[in-house]
Amino acid sequence: MPNVQRRVKPFALALGALLAATLPWWAGDQYQLHLAALIAVYWILIAGLNLVVGYGGQLSIGHVGLLAIGAYAFAILTGKLDWPPLVATAAAGAIGGLCGLALGLPSLRLPGFYFAMATMAFAVIVNELVLAQVGLTGGGIGLPGPQFSAPFDTPQGFYFLAAGLALVVTLLSWNIARRMWGRGLMAIRDNPVAAQAVGVPLFRAKLTVFVFSGVTAGVSGALFASLQSYITPDTFVFDLSLFFFVCIVIGGRGSLIGPLIGTVVLTALPELVAPLAKLGHFFYGLLLLAVVLIVPEGIGRTFEVLAQRLRPRAERQDAITPDLDRLARALGEPR
């Protein structure tokens, strides 16, 4: 069974990569391709946020503010200053990281509930600033989201760009999660006192991943602005921030595959229940309730349990041979 599992896992990964790479050719219509690109854009943000929430245990519910900053930075740099779109995307990521640093420096010292309130207040402040700065952001009218230049100016090209950046962010998140930083973050999440006692730098670790999540949110915002074609303050509602948070909760903390599945399911859910569009929030709540009651550790944990059942660990059974001569000497008995 272990040999079968070792063969199946690379095959499953290769099959998934093949399906994602060939999606523009077998997708039913342009809307499905748009939906796949939107999943990739959302995942870029959620992959970074997962390190903060799922691994670090910090309740950040204001990342929609960082998404808005990245989107408006991209729209202003590309549309008003004529920057190349790819350069503007990198700049949007840098601006998102700086804003994450500015937000994290004071707020990450707060306890969990107060940190969540600080991030929520940050999202509200960003929205109000966007409305107030009419000359820069267009106020309530908004700004157009410029398209990327060739070869990313088509739906297929944009999908490959978003999927490629999503793959890069996934690899970076996976590399962070599986090494010392990931173990330190989980130690902070589970028992910060014990983590500090063994030398884990609490504040520095939390701030580092929060800045990283700001960078991914900025890049995601740039892609989101181009994908939406036009952005207004109403685009970045607080429900979107809760959506990011729920994707991680449903997927399960301390996992990468779980939040990815949660992102795919929750993004595609409106399409699956399109005839019942008015009940969209009902199905979101029903799915969240079902996961909390049935699989409280998240969807990712379900796949781990199935993998463990398919690949049982081989227990070592080493024969123990007693040293009778040494035992006899210890007891003072003649051999």
Tell me the per-residue pLDDT of 119-162, one tens digit each, with 9 for 90 and over. 999 999 999 999 998 888 988 898 998 999 888 888 899 999 99
Per-residue burial over 238-247, b if 16 or more Cβ lie within 10 Å, else e, is eebbebbbbb
Highest mean pLDDT pick, 60-69, 105-114, 254-263, 269-278? 60-69
Percent of the chain with pLDDT over 70: 81
Question: What would the pLDDT profile of 235-292 be if each residue is shown by its tens digit?
Answer: 998 888 888 988 888 887 778 888 888 888 888 877 666 655 566 667 767 777 777 7
CA nearest neighbour of 62 among 255, 213, 282, 277: 213
Query: Average model confidence (pLDDT) for the chain?
Result: 83
- The whole-angstrom separation of Cα 267 and Cα 254 is 21
pTM of the model: 0.84
217, 139 contact by CB (below 8 A):
no
66, 100 contact by CB (below 8 A):
yes
What is the torsional sign of CA 96, 242, 75, 23? positive
CA nearest neighbour of 49 among 212, 201, 187: 212
Provide the residue ranges of all domains of the chain, joining segments of one domain with +.
Answer: 25-237
- The whole-angstrom separation of Cα 145 and Cα 148 is 10
Q: How many CB atoms lie within 10 A of CB 289?
A: 10
